[in-house]
Amino acid sequence: MENELFNLLETKNQMIYQIIHLSRCENEWLEVQKISNELSLNERSVQRYIHYLEEVVNEFNVSSKNSVELTYSKFKGLGIESDPGTINDLKTFIISSDVTIKLLVDMCLIRTKPSRQYSEENYISIYSIRKSLDKFDLLLNKFNLSVNRLDLSFSGEEKNIRIFTYIVLWTIYKNDKWPFSYISEEKILRSVDICFEGIGFQATKVHRKQLLFMYAVCLMRNKKKKYIETHENWGEYVNIDILKKDAFIIHEIDNYQVYNENELYFILLVVELQYRMFKSDSMKKRILLFHKEKQTDVFRLTEEVMKSFQEQFFEIPEERKDVFFTYCFCAHLYCKIFPGVEFDINGHNIENVKYFSENLISHLKNFIGNLDFQTDILQEKVFLSKTYASIFSYFKSPNSYDPRIIIGIDSEFPFLVRENLKANLKRKFDHSFNLLVVESESGGEDILITSMPSLYDSHEHVCTINYPLNERDYSFLEAELTKLQDSYNQNTLRQAL
Exposed, middle or buried: residue 157 (CB in 10 Å: 0-12, 13-18, 19+)?
A: middle
Residues 172 and 258 in one domain: yes
Mean pLDDT by 10 residues, the chain (497 residues): 91 92 76 87 89 90 84 80 81 90 95 91 91 93 93 94 95 89 84 75 84 90 88 84 64 60 85 84 87 94 96 93 94 94 89 80 93 93 92 87 86 84 86 84 76 70 78 84 83 54
173 plus 281 within the same structural domain: yes
- The pLDDT, as a whole number, for residue 495 is 54
Verify that 284 and 370 share a domain, yes or no.
no
Query: Are residues 161 and 280 located together in one domain of the fold?
Result: yes
Q: Which of 259, 288, 317 is the last residue of a domain?
A: 288
Full domain range(s) for residue 74: 2-97
- Cα 196 from chain centroid (whole Å): 24
Torsion of CA 231, 388, 375, 312, to 10 degrees: -160
Supply the pLDDT for residue 264.
83
CATH code where residue 439 lies: 3.40.50
- Could you give the C-alpha distances from 78 to 15, 34, 169, 426, 477, in angstroms and in order? 14, 10, 31, 38, 33
Burial, 85: exposed, middle or buried (Cβ in 10 Å; 0-12, 13-18, 19+)?
exposed
Q: Look at residue 252 in the predicted model and tell me its pLDDT.
A: 60
DSSP letter (8 states) at residue 441: -
Q: How many helices (H) and strands (E) does the chain have?
A: 22, 8
- Is the same domain home to 358 and 304? yes
Same-domain check for residues 410 and 351: no
- Which residues partner with 298 through β-bridges? none
Q: Give the chain's domain count.
A: 5
On whether both 319 and 253 belong to a single domain, the answer is no
The residue out of 288, 312, 340 marking a domain boundary is 288
Residues 232 and 324 reside in one and the same domain: no
Does one domain contain both 307 and 396? yes
CATH assignment at residue 36:
1.10.10.10
Say if residue 385 is in the same domain as residue 413.
no
Burial environment of residue 144 by CB neighbours within 10 A (0 to 12, 13 to 18, 19 or more): middle
Confidence at residue 318, expressed as pLDDT on a 0 to 100 scale = 93
Q: What contacts 109, CB < 8 A, 6 or more positions away?
A: 169, 179, 180, 181, 220
pTM of the model: 0.85
Q: Three-state SS for 155?
A: strand
Let me know whether 438 and 319 are in one domain. Answer: no
* Final residue before a domain boundary, out of 383, 401, 419: 401
* DSSP states of 453-479: GGG-TT-SSEEE--SSP-HHHHHHHHH
State whether 430 and 345 are in the same domain: no
